[in-house]
Amino acid sequence: MWMTPTELQSEIASLVPLSHDHAPDLAEAAADGELHRLWYTAVPAPDGVAAEIRRRLALQQAGSMVPFAILDASNRAVGMTTFMNIDQANHRAEIGSTWYRKSVQRTGLNTAIKQLMLSHAFDTKDAIAVEFRTHVLNRQSRAAIERLGAKLDGILRAHSILPNGTLRDTAVYSITAAEWPMVRANLAHMAAR
């Protein structure tokens, strides 16, 4: 496997391989802000966290995902993220299926986590590109992806069917290996602020 489970750490947060032990913290995190009620996201309801952990671990076994629990400075699980749609032959992956409890959003935690993941992908795993995808109407997510320095590749129109039956247009962004030094410098600057 090109992308494998690992632990990544910064001063304010860390990523650890997702496990069923994280379920109680993640159920509490999912209840914070009731993010599962947003129709354009895929945050599990508190009582669906265990099933979501099982789903992500099954995808890891299949070789298409490396899921993480996001821990805050007190080692409390406050969200989940993944390397997904892993293309081993071409050293490409998507950072996605990310969500955080409402109370840690806009605190710098997302920037720290993305910095860890991008550094791992580019500096350790020699990725040629890392993608991000989100619902075209998820303006908060799109703004966060753009703040990282990712560029819009395009919109996949009528890309998938959501649980409520609506069609999802997916905004696809990426950062390439050639762009990584500039993005890394920008993330370091953002973290210093």
pLDDT at 34: 78
Q: Compute φ and ψ for 109, nearest 5 degrees.
A: -65, -45
pLDDT at 104: 76
pTM confidence score: 0.92
pLDDT at 39: 66
Instruction: Set out the domains of the chain in order of their start, with CATH numbers.
Output: 8-192 (3.40.630.30)
Closest to 35 (Cα-Cα) out of 123, 100, 118? 100
Q: Compute φ and ψ for 188, nearest 5 degrees.
A: -65, -40
In the Cβ-directed half-sphere of 92, how many Cα atoms lie within 13 Å?
11
Q: How far apart are CA 81 and CA 69, in angstroms?
A: 7
Q: Mind listing the pLDDT tens digit of every residue in the chain (193 residues)? A: 899 999 999 988 999 999 999 999 999 999 987 777 776 777 888 999 999 999 999 999 999 999 999 999 899 999 999 999 999 999 999 999 998 888 877 778 888 999 999 999 999 999 999 999 999 999 988 998 999 999 999 999 999 998 888 899 999 999 999 999 999 999 999 888 7
**pLDDT tens digits, one per residue of 104-140:** 777 788 889 999 999 999 999 999 999 999 999 999 8
Q: How far apart are CA 167 and CA 165, in angstroms?
A: 7
Q: Are 16 and 106 in contact (CB under 8 A)?
A: no
Q: How far apart are CA 191 and CA 161, in angstroms?
A: 36
Q: Compute φ and ψ for 152, nearest 5 degrees.
A: -70, 120
